[in-house]
Chains A and B, each alone.
Chain A
Amino acid sequence: MALNLTLKVHPVVLFQIVDAYERRNNDANRVIGTLLGTVEKGVAEATNCFCVPHKEHEDIVEAELVYAKDLYEMNQQVNKQEIIVGWWATGHTVTSHSSVIHEYYSRECVNPVHMTLDTTLKRGHLGLKAFINVPVGVPGGKQGSCFTPINVEVISYEPEVVSLRLCQKTIALSQKCVEPTDDLERIIEAAEKMKGLIDCLLSYVEDVIIGKRESDNEIGRTLLNMVHSVPKMSSEQFQNMFNSNVKDLLMVLSLAQLVHTQLQLNEKLTFLTTMLI
Chain B
Amino acid sequence: MATNSRISKAQEEEPFIECVQIEGLALMKITKHCHEECSGNLEVAQGALLGLIVGKTLEITNCFAFPKNYDDTIDEGYVYEFLFIPIISKLFVFNISLVILITVKLLIYLKHYIKLYKTEDYQLDMMRRLRRVNVDHYHVGWYQSSDVGNFLSLPLLESQYHYQTSIEESVVLIYDTNKTSRGFLTLKAYRLTPQAINMFKEADFSPEALRILKIGYETLLMEVPIVIKNSSLTNILLSELKDYVPPQEGSTFLDLGTATVLEGQLRSLMERVDDLNQEAIKFNRFQVAVARQTQDKNRYIQRRAQENALRAAKKEPPLPDEDFNKLFKPISVPARLTPMLMASQVEAYGEHISKFCSQSLAKLFVMQATKN
Cross-chain contact A252 with B266 (CB below 8 angstroms): yes
Cross-chain contact A178 with B183 (CB below 8 angstroms): no
CB proximity of A259 to chain B, nearest CB, Å = 4
Given A177-B227, A183-B358, A259-B273, A15 contacting B244 (CB threshold 8 A): no
CA distance A11 to B290 in the complex (A): 62
Q: Which residues on the B side are within 8 Å of A165 (C-beta)? A: 250
Q: List which B125-183 residues lie within 8 A (CB) of chain A.
A: 125-126, 129, 132-135, 177, 180-181, 183
Given A71-B129, A161-B245, A187-B366, A274 contacting B31 (CB threshold 8 A): no
Q: Which residues on the B side are within 8 Å of A255 (C-beta)? A: 353
The answer, among B187, B211, B353, for a CB contact under 8 Å with A275, is B211
Cross-chain contact B135 with A23 (CB below 8 angstroms): yes
Cross-chain contact A12 with B32 (CB below 8 angstroms): yes
CA distance A161 to B249 in the complex (A): 7
Q: Which residues on the A side are within 8 Å of B232 (C-beta)? A: 176
Given A78-B68, A163-B31, A274-B207, A25 contacting B240 (CB threshold 8 A): no
Q: Which residues on the B side are within 8 Å of A14 (C-beta)? A: 237, 241
Chain A positions 244 through 256: 1 when the CB is less than 8 Å from some CB of chain B, otherwise 0: 0110111011011
CA distance A165 to B28 in the complex (A): 11
CB proximity of A164 to chain B, nearest CB, Å = 7
Q: Which residues on the A side are within 8 Å of B31 (C-beta)? A: 12, 157, 159-160, 162-163
CB proximity of B172 to chain A, nearest CB, Å = 16
CB proximity of B301 to chain A, nearest CB, Å = 19
Q: Which of B10-18, B93-101, B194-202, B343-351 lies at the interface with chain A? A: B343-351
CA distance A161 to B363 in the complex (A): 21
Q: Which residues on the B side are within 8 Å of A151 (C-beta)? A: none
Say yes or no for A51: interface residue by CB 8 A criterion: yes
Q: Which residues on the A side are within 8 Å of B283 (C-beta)? A: 270
Q: Which residues on the A side are within 8 Å of B226 (C-beta)? A: 179-180
CA distance A194 to B122 in the complex (A): 48
CA distance A183 to B362 in the complex (A): 10
Q: Which residues on the A side are within 8 Å of B363 (C-beta)? A: 187
Say yes or no for A39: interface residue by CB 8 A criterion: no
CA distance A98 to B270 in the complex (A): 60
Say yes or no for B305: interface residue by CB 8 A criterion: no
Give A231's nearest chain B residue, CB to CB: B371
Q: List which A1-51 residues lie within 8 A (CB) of chain B.
A: 10-12, 14-16, 18-25, 47-48, 51
CB proximity of B127 to chain A, nearest CB, Å = 11
Chain A positions 132 through 156: 1 when the CB is less than 8 Å from some CB of chain B, otherwise 0: 0000000000000000000001101
How many residue pairs at the A-B interface have CB separations less than 8 Å?
267
B interface residues, how many (CB within 8 angstroms): 103
Q: List which A56-105 residues lie within 8 A (CB) of chain B.
A: 64, 67, 70-71, 74, 77-79
Say yes or no for B295: interface residue by CB 8 A criterion: no
Give B372's nearest chain A residue, CB to CB: A235
Say yes or no for B302: interface residue by CB 8 A criterion: no
Q: Which residues on the B side are within 8 Å of A260 (C-beta)? A: 347, 350-351
Give B118's nearest chain A residue, CB to CB: A77
Cross-chain contact B250 with A256 (CB below 8 angstroms): no
Chain A positions 181 through 205: 1 when the CB is less than 8 Å from some CB of chain B, otherwise 0: 0111011101100100000000000
Cross-chain contact A259 with B269 (CB below 8 angstroms): yes
CA distance A51 to B67 in the complex (A): 20
The answer, among A18, A162, A170, for a CB contact under 8 Å with B233, is A18
Say yes or no for B336: interface residue by CB 8 A criterion: yes
Q: Which residues on the B side are within 8 Å of A74 (C-beta)? A: 122, 125-126, 129
12 more A-B residue pairs beyond the given contacts A267-B216, A274-B207, with a C-beta to C-beta distance below 8 A: A52-B133, A121-B236, A128-B240, A158-B252, A159-B31, A163-B24, A164-B250, A167-B27, A179-B228, A186-B359, A250-B357, A267-B218
Residues of A within 8 A of B (CB): 10-12, 14-16, 18-25, 47-48, 51-53, 64, 67, 70-71, 74, 77-79, 119, 121, 125-126, 128, 153-154, 156-171, 176-180, 182-184, 186-188, 190-191, 194, 230, 238, 242, 245-246, 248-250, 252-253, 255-257, 259-260, 263, 266-267, 270-271, 273-275, 277
Residues of B within 8 A of A (CB): 21, 23-25, 27-29, 31-36, 61-62, 65-68, 122, 125-126, 129, 132-135, 177, 180-181, 183-187, 207-208, 210-211, 216-218, 225-242, 244-245, 249-254, 258, 262, 266, 269, 273, 276, 280, 283, 287, 290, 333, 336, 339, 343, 346-347, 349-351, 353-364, 366-368, 371
